[in-house]
Amino acid sequence: MILKPVLKSRFNLYFSSLLAIFIIILMAYFSTIYIEKNIESKILEISTNDVFEITNNTANEIKKIVLDNKEDLDLLLNEQKINKNEKSLFNLLDKKVALLKTNNIKYAYILYVDKNEIFRFISDAARGEEKAEINQKFDIDSKYWIEAYYTKKSKVIKHDYINELSLTYLKPIEIEDITLILSIDFSVKKIDEISSTISQVKLFLQLFWVLISILLVILMYQTFKFYKTKKISYIDRLTGIYSRNYLQDNEMFINLNDYIVCAIDVDYFKKVNDTYGHVVGDDILVQISNRIKNEIREKKDIFVRYGGEEFCLLIKKEKRFDPLELVEKIHNAIKNREFKVSNSERISLSVSIGVNLNPKKQRNFISAFKLADMALYNAKNKGRNSIEIYKEDHRNKDFLTINDIKDAIEDKRVVVYYQEIINEDENDKKRYYEALIRIIKDGQIYSPEKFLPTIKDTFISTKLTKELLSIIQTKILNSQENIQISINLTQQDLQNEPILNILKEFAKTSNIASKIALEIVETDEIISYEEITKTIMELKKLSYKIYIDDFGSGYSNFIYLSKINADAIKIDGSIISTINKDELSYLVAKNIMNFAKEADIDVIAEYVSSKEIYETVKSLGIKKFQGYYFSEPI
């Protein structure tokens, strides 16, 4: 559809927007996790700073108490009987660490390390059965205990629980050559501390989602509004086809590989306006555009009113579809019909059409259209009412233009020369010829290389092939000899339905098919091996002979031959012409001959231009020859 580029751009906008939203939400999600962790860390820091400060002060006081009662500690370390009266060191320490217990501090105790490096209790703030005895063993569960003891530096051990943040704070106390460890187990409930913060984050995300949804709705509405507005601006109000605005806004979306570009101009339209007025002129433009719309494919081709009486047409390329046939249909649809001026009067009009067959060679659509416009200009300079195809080759005056070729076909200036293929097989009494097409213009005879490149892949090529077949049919029907005429066909000809229909009709007429050999140029690119092979096998069933021309110039020779079961191969002229000068050419020709002999395929040597070449190829076992040594085309 014509507005696909616009829809595509809108889709890209939607996709980009949704992708951006997804990335933003994803970032918000990970940011929330990051923030939550930071909040947790901050809460720990805030909640523990005071406790750590109190614990450090308590450690200093414990150190002073121990120094004042050093003898009690020495008794414990030397494993002697200790004093447990009310004023002893141990009672004093119990009272001191008991002051550390709060709602959040569950445990507070002092440890020492014995001679066997076992941690043991000196003091414990717990009460009742939970209280540890003096000198009771303490089982450590982390390397941090050892590190705190030997490095004399405080350590924090974090414990990961579901509902709370918990830690153990280890504070070394150095007393002369003795190190004690003051341990505090501290916890903060997670839910109580951070639930409000997380709720705020969630609320923010919800609000953010609502905002994004609102923006997305606005974006969709604006895009729909933009689409409707643009659609209106893309339609030409007079003709109902697309306006130049479409091309200006969407030329970047047009893939020039997929189209040919045509510039169409109504011939002498100014006279219509001057004679009948602009109202009638406008109505004529509507009639012309309607006729062209009836010929083009609605969902594939792009038809635009470029300005005034000039139109732009982009014809989509497709397999088995010749865009130039459509161009000719449009040209004839205007030329062969009259246009209504009033209820009692009608007039005849024509259009000139310039065609750019290869817009992909240009940087952009504007450059491609300029070349079509140049071809249109040439068509108008040559008298209007014609189709002109832009080709670089046309700058060479030796090449025929497409109009020259078209005129030659219509004026019966297409002629066929015949060059005999010499057959030295004594058992074969048939005479063989190759049909060589020529065009006559201004008394000069033009050979195929001067016009075939111009019409390659165009409907004119089909017309020329039809004309050739018609001439060959007449030649065979009027001949009294036992002859066979070979004609050159391209791979495209074998996929052209009108040409195949002609060949099938020949097969119904008094043995014409058996007297024609179809030479398929081996150097042509084979579009579809399966389709070509199927077509060739059908033609062979109709009694046509199949020759492969220019054999040895392609890359798929032997594989292709085995598939199509060719009747003969014609060794490429570049090989034969250098067979006495180039050893490689001789070896190639020899190998081709050996292969053909094994495969029971005839071999024809082309370009035999001298006695020396003739004798060399004959020595290889070749029995059919063609070239100027024997005869020129006549």
The per-residue pLDDT for range 32-50, each reduced to its tens digit, is 667 666 666 666 677 678 7
Residues 375 and 422 in one domain: no
Q: Report residue 25's pLDDT band, with 50, 70 and 90 as the boundaries.
A: low
Number of domains in the chain: 3
Q: What is the pLDDT of residue 557?
A: 53
- The residue that leads in pLDDT, 2 or 207, is 207
Rounded percentage of the chain residues whose pLDDT exceeds 70:
82
Residues 84 and 113 in one domain: yes
- The answer to whether position 204 is within a domain reads no
Task: Say yes or no to pLDDT of 356 above 80.
Answer: yes
Q: What is the pLDDT of residue 101?
A: 86
Q: Which of 333, 355, 390 is the last residue of a domain?
A: 390
Longest dimension (CA), the chain: 149
What pTM did the predictor assign? 0.46
Residues 63 and 170 in one domain: yes
Q: What is the pLDDT of residue 492?
A: 76
Rounded CA-CA distance 69/89 in Å is 6
Q: Give me 85's structure tokens.
A: 């009266």
- The answer to whether position 217 is within a domain reads no
Rounded CA-CA distance 446/439 in Å is 5
Residues 406 and 384 in one domain: no
Domain with 174 in it: 31-193
Task: Say yes or no to pLDDT of 589 above 70.
Answer: yes
Mean pLDDT over the full length of the chain: 83
Residues 528 and 607 in one domain: yes
> In which residue are the tokens 């609320």 written?
203
The pairing of beta strand 624-625 with beta strand 414-423: antiparallel
The per-residue pLDDT for range 91-147, each reduced to its tens digit, is 888 888 888 888 778 889 999 998 888 999 999 988 888 888 888 999 988 889 999
The mean pLDDT of 419-432, rounded to a whole number, is 89
Helix, strand, or coil here: 462?
A: helix
Residues 182 and 107 in one domain: yes
- The answer to whether position 198 is within a domain reads no
Residues 416 and 341 in one domain: no
What phi-psi label fits residue 128: left (phi over 0), alpha (psi between -120 and 50 degrees) or beta?
A: left
Of 607, 634, 632, residue with least CA distance to 417: 634
Q: Which of 362, 390, 418 is the last residue of a domain?
A: 390
Domain CATH code at residue 366 = 3.30.70.270
Q: Which of 390, 411, 439 is the last residue of a domain?
A: 390
Rounded CA-CA distance 83/89 in Å is 8
- The answer to whether position 234 is within a domain reads no
Domain CATH code at residue 101 = 3.30.450.20
The per-residue pLDDT for range 266-282, each reduced to its tens digit, is 988 877 876 788 889 89
Rounded CA-CA distance 305/235 in Å is 9
Residues 386 and 408 in one domain: no
Helix, strand, or coil here: 191?
A: helix
Rounded CA-CA distance 313/325 in Å is 14
Residues 463 and 595 in one domain: yes
Residues 179 and 293 in one domain: no
The mean pLDDT of 437-449, rounded to a whole number, is 90
The mean pLDDT of 55-72, rounded to a whole number, is 89
The per-residue pLDDT for range 198-211, each reduced to its tens digit, is 667 666 766 776 67
The per-residue pLDDT for range 505-529, each reduced to its tens digit, is 998 876 799 999 999 875 444 545 6
Residues 284 and 363 in one domain: yes
Residues 514 and 593 in one domain: yes
Highest mean pLDDT out of 236-250, 314-328, 556-570, 581-595 = 314-328
The mean pLDDT of 175-185, rounded to a whole number, is 89
